[in-house]
Structure formats: structure tokens, C-alpha cells
Amino acid sequence: MRRSRLTRQLMATTLPLALIAGAGIAVADPMLGRTMSSYGLPGGIDTPTAETLPDGSLGATVSLSDYARRANIFFQALPGLTTVLRYGRVDGIDDFREEGFISDRSLDLRYQIVDEDGWRPAVAIGLQDFLGTGVYSGEYIVATRNVTPTVRASVGLGWGTLAGRPRVIDVTDLGGTPNVDQWFSGGAKPFASVSWQVNDRLNLTAEYSNDIYLARYSDGREPQQGDEPSSKLNLGASYRIGRNYEAGIYTIGGKTIGAQFTIALNPRDAAFPSGLEKAPAPVRPRVSPAQDPEGWSGSWSQDPTAQPAIQKALGDAMAKEGQRLESMALTATRAEVRLRNQRYINQAEAVGRTARLMTRALPPSVETFVITSTTDGMATSSVTMRRSDVERLENTEAGQIAAASTLSDAAQTAGLVPTPDLYPRFRWSVRPYLDIGIFSAEDGLTHEVGAEARASYEIIPGLIATGALRQRAFGDIGQRGPGIPGQRGEYFSPEEYESRPELETTPEGVPRVRSDTRMYTGNSSPVIPEATLAWYAKPSEAVYTRVTVGLLERAYGGVSAEALWKPATSPLGFGAEINRVRKRDFDQLFDFRDYEVTTGHVSAYYEFQQGFTAQLDVGQYLAGDVGATVTLAREFANGWRVGAYATKTDLSAEEFGEGSFDKGVTLSIPLGWATGQASRDRVSTNIRSLSRDGGSRVNVNGRLYDRVRDSHTVDLYEGWGRFWR
């Protein structure tokens, strides 16, 4: 059987990951958790189980008791791999502030080795708090099995905290590095739990736990986290509210009562799975040659008024579906349209709707359709298909039209006629904004609310002016200088910070490029977070370029230049970027401070199967440090993006400060997922446990890779199921 070029490209892209990931991905659904533990994982109350969550699940758990207050963000990164980023306040333990508690950040990983099968239980192995200071540090192996359809039992072996043998915490340790030599050491003890699913909403749990809620410091202190439990038995009850929420109460050792709340989302479980957008226009089959001899003969193409009329009719129809017909080349047998998708999160849906409209607007002699995607004036890829295949396959699965289509780099096509009156183009919007601060040891959860006006002016294709103006309304994020060295929780006032230039570097001599971020907050007057002029171009079929000048972000302005090599049919891409920037004044208007620096990176990108993308950036960062950033992200077919990154540079752990190196989690959710309305707008955030100076980059909007990948092989194919939507 003949395979199209697109099919062969897709097979070449997906096979390498299948070999890398192994059979662990292509398995039946694993044992799914019924309740969440206080550590933000499927489990008992404080003890783990071998359960997982539905693949791609993302959410948060907040638990409160006399022993700890924990906020957990969890993500089911793979069918068997569960990850948790935790921020906890542990009472009964002093830090430098001597306030009776510490604020701890930690990371957990759990992998389900095997799923339940017959008499064999599900088995998982986990690392708890393996990158933090080690307050919760422990490792475990646990097995879980269904005893009856409603009763589930777990038993395991735990080390560290799970065995009641807390690890010694080095008081000089800055955290952020795994203590591999301590893993599975110090003796193990068993733990167990039993859960009873009373009905589809209520679950009861009992567990046997060895945690004694004690911390051990290298200076000899052994503070107790509240009263030591008088019993190893913990009891809990949880109640599911709707599809996404869970509330629960529990007791620990008969000494204390705790409460917990969980919200869990899954990208595959949208409120409006099919969307609320209008149905596309149906394909219009061609009439017979006898009914339209002129249309089939192609003689219409000799009429100079034919293309303008056809282009206007097609452009108007595309505009009603959120598309822009940038230009068009038309002959008697071939039509190429260049479209900009302004509405649909999946580029495949925009291509499919355009193909339908072409069958309705073009004369019957046109058999070859070429649909070229564009962004910011750059043509990014072309999908070529036969009109007869579009007519024949309309009511079949999308995979058939994929097999009959060919994806290629967008070539320079002769005869392209721009659509009149598209440029210049002005757009603006006014929206509320919400900034949230989390993982702050001193402030807890903070917020700021206001209004943001944003505008863009496309002068010609590829030349775009963009600006934004913000006005704060209210909030508790206040302006302040960085902390006094060695005294956590104490900060300079803005006036003190401004009057002491020596504070613009850390005690180790590292420039404060991000640790004074709070100086850019709390402005009661209007601020300009961004004002730029950007020029996008495509000098060759697979090379894209960008030059951006102006106020690039709230803290830096200057010039940013970038080049990207990314063939449309390759999962591999390479890029390079250089920036010359200067630090902006804290009022975020048009004044600058003295600090000026050149940064630059070379980057490699690779797209795997199932929406995974790996990125490696190597170069110089804002503080002048040199190193590399590794990013792994996963994008789902409906546009959800979840990623994690880590940066290590030539700054030592002491020079970097608490955390030892930069790391964080990124999240981007399409608005259409929640509203059901087709939209390319997103809600995005970068969750970092600490804002430090090492490994920091300039935040530049419009970087090329994210601009072009939507219409390239892997990403286009991930959403190909919506071609006929």
C-alpha cells in the first residue's frame, strides 16, 4: 500500500520515542488513585500507595494540621510517573528568624513499575523530598491491590521520614542538590493503608505510619514538629465534589485533626470536549463537466477579473471562521492560499476548515490545494492535497486525509497576490490582570489586581509594533529591596536600597539581575511592561529570523536578535539568540539604570511522540554567568502545555544562594479549554520556588520556536484529529 510523504514523516518522527520510552507508554490504564495524601500524591493520609492519576492530570492540594501546612502542585507526567512540587510550612522548627517554623520547598517523584494484574499488585517506587533541605526526605517501595471492588490495601517499606528516622539536615546546606548517598539508607520500616470507597463520592482511609514528626540538625538540635503522636494509626475521610474537587478531614496519631482540599484538572477532560464553535461549512462536491464546461476546461483562468473575485469571496468566507487570507496564487489546476490562523488552538483545524472553503470557492478545474500557514508575516509550512481526496474523505477519520496529504517547507511561490487592505492593521484590548506570588517564605500567598491595555500595529507583513500599559488597582505585593545578607525575612525599604549602590550586587559579587524583582512591583502609578518593534523574516525555506528592539520586559530594555533553523518535516531544530540589554528603572517607564550586559545562547530543540519537546540552551545569562538550561515540556492535543526546566551555570552553590541552581515549572492553558469558545489566547505562568540571579534570561515575547512549531510535523499531527472539526 502506498504511503504518502506525510505518513512516512510521521512514522519517522514517532518511532524513535517508542524505542526510547519503551512499552511503558503503550499499556492499559494503570491503577488510578481514589484520594490524595497530604503530600499531594495518590495515597493514604501521610503514607504513599502505588496508585497513579489519569495521564496528564494537573492540580493542587492544600493540607493543614498542627504538624505542617503543605501546598502541593502535582502532575502526572507519564502514565506511570507522578511528580509533585511542594511548599510546606513546618511548625516547631526554628530557622534564622526564630519564629517557630521553617518554610520548606521540596520535590517528589513516584514511578509505578508494574500495574495490578490478576493476583499481582501494582508496585511503585518513590523519592520524597530529594531536592529540598530534607525535612521530609524519604524513599519507599509500595504495593497496592484491590481486595474487593470497593476496598483497596497498600503495604510498603519506607526509609528516612517514612521509617521514623529523619535525616540529619546540614544547617549550611543551601538545598537544591540530591543527597544520593542517603537514598534507601538508615534502615527501613513497614507502613500500610486501607481505603474503602463507600460510594462514588465518599472514601474512608486508615493507615499505619511511622512518622514521628521530628527534625534533626547537624548542630545537634532535634526540634519536634508539634506533640509526638501517641499512636501510629491515622484515620481520614474524603468527599468528592463534582468532577474536579475533593475535601477531607483526618486525624494523626489521635493527637491532632487536619483538613485538606484538592483540585484536579485533566487536559483530556474539558468542560466542553467538542467545543462550542460553529460547525464548518460542508465540502461542496464539484458538478459534472457537462454542467460547467468552462469551469472544468480552465478557460476562466484567462479572465483577469477571475482571481480578484475568487480571492475576495474566499477571503470573506475565511474571515468569518477566524482566518486571514494573506495572499493567494491561482492557476487553472492549482491554488495556494496563505492563511493566518487567528482563532483555533490546533493549526490542523484551521487547515481543515480552509480546505472545505476552497472546495466552495474555487472552479472545478482546480485539483491541487496548497494551504500554507503563516505567522507574523513568515510562511511556516505547506500542506498539499488533492481536491478529489477532500471530497472523497470528508466523512472519514482524519487519519485518511493525513495519509493523502504532504507536508513541506513553504517555498517562495511565484504569482502570489496579497489580499488588499490587510496592512497596516491595528488591534487593541483592555483586560484585567492578576499577579500571584507563591512559595514566599516571608509573605505566603500574595496578589496584585489591575487593568492592562495592550495594542499591536502591523505596519507591513513581519514588522510589528507592540505595547502595553498597566495600572494597579489593589493587592498586597509591595515594593521592597532585597534581603539583608544572612538575615532572612528582613528587607531594605526602596529608599534605603536606592541610596546604597553597593547593594546592587550580592555579598558574593553577583549582580542583582532578578533578586531585586520586588522593586518592580507595587507601583501605584501606571507602568509600561513592554513596548517593542519587532521584525520577522524568512531568508530561506527552513531559516527564520527575528530582531526586537525596545522595552523588552519590565526589568530590561535593549535589542534582541534571533535566528532559527527548523525544517517543517523535521523534529529537530537549532537556534541562536543574542541580546544587548540594560536594566530599566523601577518605575517601569523610560529611564534606565547603570547595569548593562550582553547575553546569548545557542539552542537545540527536539520533538518526541505524545507531545514531548526537549530543549537545550547553552550560553551566557544576565548575571554574566555561563551555563546551560534543559527544558522538557509536554503539549496535549487540545493545547495544554506543562513543562519543567533546570539551569546550571558556573556560579557555585554559595554564589547562587538558596536553592543552589535555577529550576521551575511552566504551565500554559488555552482559554478555549475552559470556555468552549475557539481562541488562541492562553493563560500562562512560570512557577519558580525562588527568584535568584544565576541562570536568569531576558524575557522576550515572540521567540521563534514557539511561533513556527504549531504548523510543523509533530505539533500539526498531534492535533490532526480536528482536521474535519
Instruction: Tell me whether the omega of the peptide bond preceding residue 424 falls within 30 degrees of 0, making it cis.
Output: yes
Q: Which residues, at least 6 apart from 266, have a Cβ–Cβ distance to it below 8 Å?
A: 54, 56, 57, 58
C-alpha–C-alpha distance, residues 583 and 653, integer Å: 25
Note the pTM of the prediction, 2 decimals: 0.86
More confident residue, 43 or 685: 43
Q: What are phi and psi of 397, to 5 degrees?
A: -65, 150
Q: Strand 378-386 to strand 216-217: parallel, antiparallel, or no bridges (unpaired)?
A: unpaired
Cβ atoms of 212 and 164 within 8 Å: the answer is: yes
C-alpha–C-alpha distance, residues 284 and 330, integer Å: 19
Task: Kindly report, residue by residue over 261-287, the tens digit of the pLDDT.
Answer: 999 988 877 777 667 778 889 999 999
| Residue type at position 87 | Y
Cβ atoms of 556 and 584 within 8 Å: the answer is: yes
**Residues paired with 58 in a beta bridge:** 75, 265
Task: Kindly report, residue by residue over 236-251, the tens digit of the pLDDT.
Answer: 999 999 888 999 999 9
C-alpha–C-alpha distance, residues 328 and 641, integer Å: 33
What percent of the chain is modeled with pLDDT above 90? 60
Cβ atoms of 576 and 565 within 8 Å: the answer is: no
Q: How many Cα atoms are found within 13 Å in the side-chain-facing hemisphere of 519?
A: 25
pLDDT range class, residue 509, cuts 50, 70, 90: confident
pLDDT range class, residue 348, cuts 50, 70, 90: very high
User: What does the pLDDT read at residue 30?
Assistant: 65
Residue 503 per-residue DSSP state: G
C-alpha–C-alpha distance, residues 367 and 458, integer Å: 34
C-alpha–C-alpha distance, residues 60 and 643, integer Å: 16
C-alpha–C-alpha distance, residues 592 and 551, integer Å: 10
DSSP collapsed to 3 states, 397-456: CHHHHHHCCEEECCCCCCCCEECCCCCCEEEEEEEEEEEEEEEECCCEEEEEEEEEEEEE
- CA 1 to chain centroid, in Å, comes to 39
**Listed residue (265, 235, 259) closest to 47, CA to CA:** 235
**Listed residue (486, 590, 462, 475) closest to 529, CA to CA:** 590
C-alpha–C-alpha distance, residues 52 and 32, integer Å: 5
C-alpha–C-alpha distance, residues 122 and 138, integer Å: 20
C-alpha–C-alpha distance, residues 31 and 667, integer Å: 26
**Residues paired with 18 in a beta bridge:** none
Q: Strand 444-460 to strand 463-475: parallel, antiparallel, or no bridges (unpaired)?
A: antiparallel
User: SS3 for 114?
Assistant: strand
| Residue 68, all three cell numbers | 505542617
Cβ atoms of 202 and 35 within 8 Å: the answer is: no
Is 461 a residue whose pLDDT tops 80?
yes
User: What does the pLDDT read at residue 176?
Assistant: 65
- Element (DSSP H or E) covering residue 82: strand 81-91
Task: Kindly report, residue by residue over 1-40, the tens digit of the pLDDT.
Answer: 334 444 444 344 333 323 223 333 333 456 899 999 999 9
pLDDT range class, residue 442, cuts 50, 70, 90: low
Alpha helices, DSSP H only, in 186-305? 293-297
Q: How many CB atoms lie within 10 A of CB 599?
A: 23
C-alpha–C-alpha distance, residues 61 and 55, integer Å: 18
User: What does the pLDDT read at residue 1?
Assistant: 37
